[in-house]
Structure 1
Amino acid sequence: MDTGTHIVMGVALGGLATLDPAVQADPTLFNAIMVGTIAGSHAPDFDTVLKLRSNAVYLRHHRGITHSVPAVIFWGIAISSLIYAFVPSVDFMHLWLWTFLAVVLHVFVDIFNAYGTQAFRPFSDRWVAYGFINTFDPTIFGFHVIGILAWVFGAHPGFTWLIIYSILILYYIKRYMDKREIIQAVKKRFPDVHEIQTSPTMKQNKWRLAITTDNYYYVGRYDYGKLEIVDEYSRKPLPQNPLVKKAKKDKNISAFLSFSPVYRWEINYYDDYSEVRFIDLRYRTKGHYPFVAVVKIDDDLQIISSYTGWIFSEQKLQNKLLTE
């Protein structure tokens, strides 16, 4: 989820903590838990600082190890221990429990986005991305705003958030059923389908799709119960020639391939260099595929430049390749 949603979820857990008898009896513990749940609900995304190094490093590691099983345990202990150092009079076990729950909730809700996480590391490096909740979901965020306002105006925080989270559980079930409907529609149209990547938009009834069949990749949308295919590409194996082998060793290309589950490729030859390009098919926006990885290689198989990331025009991409 986006940063704003994670933060309001931290506030919500702080409110739910008021149902804990130990928290009810100790205002200092409540304040400590509120700090812990807000910090814990954002902590796994501290890896955003990796963007300062490069897009390749960020892409390879974001939502990776910081969302893994060991990291979830670490964040809960580290944050609650830091808070406890300033307020040693509070009950550490309750402080840790609610902080740990905030971290777990962060990772849990992230697996429902199209981006996903490596939540099962170190047991599996597989990206878990169920793809039926948008990274920013107005319904989820809106219910949290309603809960915060109700709390501000005097509603009991524990029961308020208990009701709201009960509604949101039903909402998640509803979105899961929406995705099941889409999967059934795609399988009916394409009996040879291998994989279906769903990317919900911020609008309830509009979805983006990337479909893999025996011989083709199809890019489509599912709007108000109607399946529409907008692009199709032949599913060609990536050639295993020296140029491609060199390209795959590049840090930007390698990071892209470690992350993207469905993409097409292009090889373009110019007078004094060749270009290998990979295009992720999940994020088509206004006829454009903004998530790419590109490498330029000279005739001696030396990498000239490369780039991976989100780019919305060819001119900007070429400018990036000049500076990377």
Structure 2
Amino acid sequence: MDTGTHVVMGIALGALATVDPVVAGSSQAAIGIMTATIIGSQIPDIDTVLKLKNNADYIRNHRGITHSLPMLAIWPLLISSILYFIFPAATFIHLLLWTFIAVGLHIFVDIFNAYGTQAVRPFKETWVAFGFINTFDWFIFGSHVVAIAAWLLGSPVLATFVTLYVILALYYVARFVTQRMIKHAVQNLIPDSEEIIIASTIHFFQWRVAVTTKDHYYVGRAFKRNISIYEKFDRLPVPDNEIIRSAKKDKNLAAFISFSKVYNWRIEEKLDGTYVTFTDLRYRSNGHYPFVAVVKLDDDLKIISSYTGWIFSTEKLHKKLAPVSI
């Protein structure tokens, strides 16, 4: 989920914690627990700082080890140990419990996005991504805001937040069922499909559709159960030639391939070099595929520059690939 949603989830947990007599009996304890739940709801995303380094490291590692099973213990222990010296009235065990819930909830809800997490690491480094909840979901964020506002205005804390979580549980079930219905409709439309990716969007009734068959990729949208296929691409294997082998040495392209599930490729020879472009087909937006990896090679097939990330204009791509002046 996005940062804002994780924040309101942390606040909601901190508010719910006030039903605990230890928390309710001390303002210092209440502040300490609220601090713990807010920090705990954010700490797994600390790897976002990798964006400051480069996109390749961010793509490879975001929601990786910081969202893994060992961190369910490490983050709460770390946060609770620090906060206990500041808010001793909260008691270490209460800080540990509520921080564990906050961290666990963060990691849990992230698996329902299309991006997913490595939540079962170290047993497996595969990405768990169900894709039926958008990274920002207005209903999840909005319902938390309403519940928090009701609590601040005097609504009974237990009834308020139990109602919130019951409603959200039903919402998740409804989104899952809707995704399954769309997948079934896609299977009827493209019976030879081998893999179907149905990912939510910020719009409640709209879903992104990417389908892989033996010979083709299909890209489209679903509105409710109506499927629209916008484009069809030949599924061509990536050639094992000198150009591709040279390009694959680049960390940006390697990161893209490790992350992307459905992509096509092209090789373009231009006056200023050879361009190898890989395009993710899952994120079509206004007829454009913005998530790409591009490697620029010289005549000797040495890497001049490269980039992976979101590109919405040719001008921006040229700037990203421009040599750095020293």
Give yes or no for the alignment of 1:156 onto 2:156: yes
Q: Counterparts of 1:287 and 1:255 in 2: how far apart (Å)?
A: 24
The aligned residue for residue 7 of structure 1 is 7
User: Given that residues 33 and 90 in structure 2 are in contact (C-alpha distance below 8 angstroms), is that contact kept between their aligned partners in structure 1?
Assistant: no
The aligned residue for residue 87 of structure 2 is 87
The aligned residue for residue 304 of structure 2 is 304
Q: Counterparts of 1:162 and 1:125 in 2: how far apart (Å)?
A: 34
Read off the aligned partner of 2:142 and give its amino acid letter. G
Read off the aligned partner of 2:139 and give its amino acid letter. T
Q: Counterparts of 2:68 and 2:206 in 1: how far apart (Å)?
A: 31
The aligned residue for residue 19 of structure 2 is 19
The aligned residue for residue 276 of structure 1 is 276
Percent identity over the alignment is 55
- Structure 1 residue 277, shift from structure 2 partner: 0.5
Read off the aligned partner of 1:165 and give its amino acid letter. Y
The aligned residue for residue 210 of structure 1 is 210
Classify the secondary structure of the residue corresponding to 1:230: strand
Instruction: Spell out, residue by residue over 1:262-282, the C-alpha distance to the aligned partner (whole angstroms, 9 max, x if none).
Output: 111111122452111110111
Instruction: Spell out, residue by residue over 1:226-255, the C-alpha distance to the aligned partner (whole angstroms, 9 max, x if none).
Output: 100001100110001121111111010011
Q: Counterparts of 2:203 and 2:89 in 1: how far apart (Å)?
A: 47
The aligned residue for residue 180 of structure 1 is 180
User: Given that residues 15 and 158 in structure 1 are in contact (C-alpha distance below 8 angstroms), is that contact kept between their aligned partners in structure 2?
Assistant: no
Q: Counterparts of 1:21 and 1:212 in 2: how far apart (Å)?
A: 55
- Structure 1 residue 20, shift from structure 2 partner: 2.6
The aligned residue for residue 66 of structure 1 is 66
The aligned residue for residue 108 of structure 1 is 108
Classify the secondary structure of the residue corresponding to 1:222: strand
User: Given that residues 66 and 72 in structure 1 are in contact (C-alpha distance below 8 angstroms), is that contact kept between their aligned partners in structure 2?
Assistant: no
User: Given that residues 278 and 292 in structure 1 are in contact (C-alpha distance below 8 angstroms), is that contact kept between their aligned partners in structure 2?
Assistant: yes
User: Given that residues 17 and 158 in structure 1 are in contact (C-alpha distance below 8 angstroms), is that contact kept between their aligned partners in structure 2?
Assistant: no
The aligned residue for residue 78 of structure 1 is 78
Greater shift, 63-72 or 53-62, is seen at 63-72
- Structure 1 residue 23, shift from structure 2 partner: 2.6
Q: Counterparts of 1:242 and 1:167 in 2: how far apart (Å)?
A: 56
Read off the aligned partner of 1:227 and give its amino acid letter. I
Instruction: Spell out, residue by residue over 1:95-148, the C-alpha distance to the aligned partner (whole angstroms, 9 max, x if none).
Output: 101101101111111111111111111111111110000111010011001011
Classify the secondary structure of the residue corresponding to 1:293: strand
Greater shift, 224-233 or 80-89, is seen at 80-89
The aligned residue for residue 117 of structure 1 is 117
Q: Counterparts of 1:88 and 1:153 in 2: how far apart (Å)?
A: 28
The aligned residue for residue 226 of structure 2 is 226
Classify the secondary structure of the residue corresponding to 1:69: coil
The aligned residue for residue 235 of structure 2 is 235
User: Given that residues 200 and 206 in structure 1 are in contact (C-alpha distance below 8 angstroms), is that contact kept between their aligned partners in structure 2?
Assistant: yes
Greater shift, 1-10 or 198-207, is seen at 198-207
- Structure 1 residue 323, shift from structure 2 partner: 4.4
TM-score (norm 1): 0.97
Q: Counterparts of 2:289 and 2:90 in 1: how far apart (Å)?
A: 52
The aligned residue for residue 126 of structure 1 is 126
Greater shift, 236-245 or 27-36, is seen at 27-36
The aligned residue for residue 321 of structure 1 is 321
The aligned residue for residue 264 of structure 1 is 264
TM-score (norm 2): 0.96
Read off the aligned partner of 1:316 and give its amino acid letter. K
Instruction: Spell out, residue by residue over 1:194-224, the C-alpha distance to the aligned partner (whole angstroms, 9 max, x if none).
Output: 1112221111111111111111110010013
- Structure 1 residue 296, shift from structure 2 partner: 0.7
User: Given that residues 44 and 67 in structure 2 are in contact (C-alpha distance below 8 angstroms), is that contact kept between their aligned partners in structure 1?
Assistant: yes
- Structure 1 residue 158, shift from structure 2 partner: 2.5
Q: Counterparts of 1:67 and 1:133 in 2: how far apart (Å)?
A: 18
Q: Counterparts of 2:159 and 2:79 in 1: how far apart (Å)?
A: 26
User: Given that residues 16 and 159 in structure 1 are in contact (C-alpha distance below 8 angstroms), is that contact kept between their aligned partners in structure 2?
Assistant: no
Greater shift, 230-239 or 65-74, is seen at 65-74
Provide the alpha-carbon RMSD of the alignment.
Answer: 1.3
Q: Counterparts of 1:86 and 1:93 in 2: how far apart (Å)?
A: 14
Paired residue total: 324
Classify the secondary structure of the residue corresponding to 2:83: helix
Q: Counterparts of 1:197 and 1:299 in 2: how far apart (Å)?
A: 38
User: Given that residues 266 and 277 in structure 2 are in contact (C-alpha distance below 8 angstroms), is that contact kept between their aligned partners in structure 1?
Assistant: yes
Classify the secondary structure of the residue corresponding to 1:278: strand
Q: Counterparts of 1:234 and 1:30 in 2: how far apart (Å)?
A: 59
Q: Counterparts of 1:18 and 1:86 in 2: how far apart (Å)?
A: 19
Classify the secondary structure of the residue corresponding to 2:209: strand
